Amino acid sequence: MERKQFLIHVTGAMGLMPLLVTQIGCDDPYGTSKDSSTSNGSTNGFTVTSSNNSGHTHNITILLADVATPPGSGKTITSTGSHTHTIMLSKSDFESLASGQTVLKTSSNSGGHTHSFSIKVP
């Protein structure tokens, strides 16, 4: 191969590198396409919106690290909003999420009402 042909091939391949890096960088083990920011600045989670009760909803964020390595004692997750609700996810709940199942949880009572969350890794 002549030097000119070599440079043309290398330059062409280098033009594809940003596309390959972008595609690889977007993939994660759960196939989520939209990561959610969390209070600690991490972007390794997904957001779930509750049922509408008393005219409003709440969001919770589930960290993918907790799905991949479930906390032994589970984890309490607090919702967002002008008032908050909590849900408790057990180790087995995280294991269910990791296996692709949907986990249904009812939040704590706050302001005289609760919310339902249907949680599934996207």
pLDDT in tens, 34-70: 444 444 444 599 999 999 999 999 999 999 999 999 9
Q: 85: Cβ–Cβ under 8 A, 6 or more apart, which residues?
A: 50, 58, 78, 79, 107, 108, 109, 110, 114, 115
Least confidently predicted of 28-32, 39-43, 81-85: 28-32
Give the number of domains in the chain: 1
Task: Identify whether 7 is part of a domain.
Answer: no
Domain extent, residue 59, equals 30-119
How many angstroms separate the most distant Cα atoms in the chain?
78
For tokens 């062409």, what's the residue? 12
pLDDT value of position 1: 58
